[in-house]
Amino acid sequence: MTTLRQLGERETIRRLAALLPTRPDVRMHIGDDVAVVSAGEYDFLLTSDAVIEGTHFLADAVPEQIGHKAIGRALSDLAATGGEPLWALIDVVAPPELEAERLERIYQGLAKLSSTYSLAVVGGDLAQGPVLELHVFAVGRVPAGQAVLRSGAKAGDAIYVTGQLGGSIQGKHLTFEPRVKEGQWLRQNQWATAMIDLSDGLATDLNHILEMSCVGAELAMETIPISDAAKISPSQQTPLEHALYDGEDFELLFTVADERRLAFEEAWAQANFLPCTRIGHITQEPRGILLIDAEGRRTPLARDGFEHFTS
Amino acid sequence: MTTLRQLGERETIRRLAALLPTRPDVRMHIGDDVAVVSAGEYDFLLTSDAVIEGTHFLADAVPEQIGHKAIGRALSDLAATGGEPLWALIDVVAPPELEAERLERIYQGLAKLSSTYSLAVVGGDLAQGPVLELHVFAVGRVPAGQAVLRSGAKAGDAIYVTGQLGGSIQGKHLTFEPRVKEGQWLRQNQWATAMIDLSDGLATDLNHILEMSCVGAELAMETIPISDAAKISPSQQTPLEHALYDGEDFELLFTVADERRLAFEEAWAQANFLPCTRIGHITQEPRGILLIDAEGRRTPLARDGFEHFTS
């Protein structure tokens, strides 16, 4: 007998995925930010995300921020494939003792973020259980065949990340802005060859792109944008370690073909988005991530980041 | 301060629904078995359902049956609008101590039922929490404008129910067959004017049709099909009370225009489906359900059935 703790999240998903039925209209199954299914002139993007008290937020979290995070995680997944948000359902699990006003404030938070990105919340389910949970199921779309996947990175591509990384536990994990506009722009202009949102941490999420694209990466250590929260963190980790391994930044990590690099950087600047930073490039050999310091020394980067059940 | 227990499931949903953003392509919002959204030549049907240990199944339930129930509930919602099942996502919440083999058996159960109805399970989320839960989000479709809703019943329509009712707690709630084929047939041939699946019990679910259609109903007491499980139940309720108030039968309750009644009954018999029974008819006045006994006495039927938080 093996428990989920022994097996870990990823191996469990691998085992379960092998059991599941598919259909000819399924373009992308388990293994990307969203599932991609074919529906005429559009591909639909399907994603689900849970926020659970004690795992994703604490019992004393601001209610509006819990709702914001629940919807924000789903929007961030759609953003990572360049999708246009359409519709969402929400399954709420709650203990009978929960104050109705608290749940209403959670819904005010999620309604505000949903309407910002024209995501209609069209239904869901409400059931009782021991702790408060919100499960958000969201549908988005892209023109057929145009979803940006994790698998498109090529040797030589430049690697970019939006915003600043690390230390989200100090607040950003509840208040982050999903990069929906930026993701759609990167898809519409075909800048991004591969993309993912940073939910498990830069090291882990970049490895997802590398594995799905069968390539490697070199990162220039001093270019990695470190957030103020990571710099002032009271933990024993260095700010760089926070930026590499902390989860829930919900920034976009993406690759751009080397020959379009300068044009891309100019277009990004003109689009008036938040800053984005070139942090390295894709290499041919699929041997993970090499971190290069200011003296040119190369260090293989340990794969890490948050994994449910084992972390 | 008001708790969810004081407010009850339906009033809580009403309050939350008022807060939610919508879009012009949303045809049917909260208040039916599924949400209906417009997408070109098809309407898509979106539904979500949770099964939670301690609420929807007990800790010693057969794992394959837990998976069967989780998918079956979503398929039953699609069936109730006449939908063709397409894709599903599953959010699993589990304690780290859960045996991986148990979760694999749950997935074997849900994979078997999904593939029977060509429902592809395309992804989901796996997170840790205190008890085992499965949240199934499913997408189906109908040709544009053809979803069978709760709101289409007219005075004079005959009321039908598939199968037999009551006592599902003795086993059927974990092993029921969702009426997907029957629901699609009732929609394709435009027999059903309104339809719902019996999840909360005949009395409650018929009231949902009556409220959404602004009509009433008379039921002939002796025609209500009572299951063997309801007849042998050790509880203090009568078999009829079980058939009226027990939840989780997952049969279809639907209405057919009076002038098509005989043609419908003949076509149903030829289609080789399970038995269905005419149990009454729709009346003009929206005054709930009247139960008529063999002597012609009319008794108003108390609205009841399962409601989360208050039951």
Q: List domains and CATH numbers for chain A.
A: 4-143 (3.30.1330.10), 150-300 (3.90.650.10)
Provide the sign of the torsion angle of the four alpha carbons B166, B260, B281, B155, taken in this order. positive
Task: Closest CB to A100: pick one of B4, B22, B131.
Answer: B4
CA distance B264 to chain A (A): 32
Which residues from chain B sit within 8 angstroms of residue A80, using beta carbons?
none
Task: Closest CB to A123: pick one of B35, B41, B139.
Answer: B35
Residue A235 one-letter amino acid = S
Sorted by sequence, the CB contacts under 8 Å of residue A265 that are 6+ apart come out as A278
Which residues from chain A sit within 8 angstroms of residue B97, using beta carbons?
3-5
Closest CA relative to residue B127, chosen from A244, A253, A131:
A131
CA distance B48 to chain A (A): 6
Provide the sign of the torsion angle of the four alpha carbons A290, A293, A298, A304, taken in this order. negative
ipTM rounded to 2 decimals:
0.92
Contact A99 B41 (CB under 8 A): no
Dihedral (C-alpha) A176, A180, A182, A188: value to the nearest 10 degrees? Answer: 170
- Considering only CA atoms, give the Rg of chain B: 19
Token code pair at residue B182: 């029957």
Per residue of chain B (311 residues), what is the pLDDT tens digit? 899 999 988 889 889 988 998 899 998 777 777 999 999 899 999 999 999 999 899 999 999 999 999 999 999 999 999 999 999 999 999 999 999 999 999 999 999 999 999 999 999 989 999 999 999 999 999 999 999 999 999 999 999 999 999 999 999 999 999 999 999 999 999 999 999 999 999 999 999 999 999 999 999 999 999 999 999 988 889 999 999 999 999 999 999 999 999 999 999 999 999 999 999 999 999 999 999 999 999 999 876 555 566 65
Which residues from chain A sit within 8 angstroms of residue B23, using beta carbons?
86-87, 118, 120
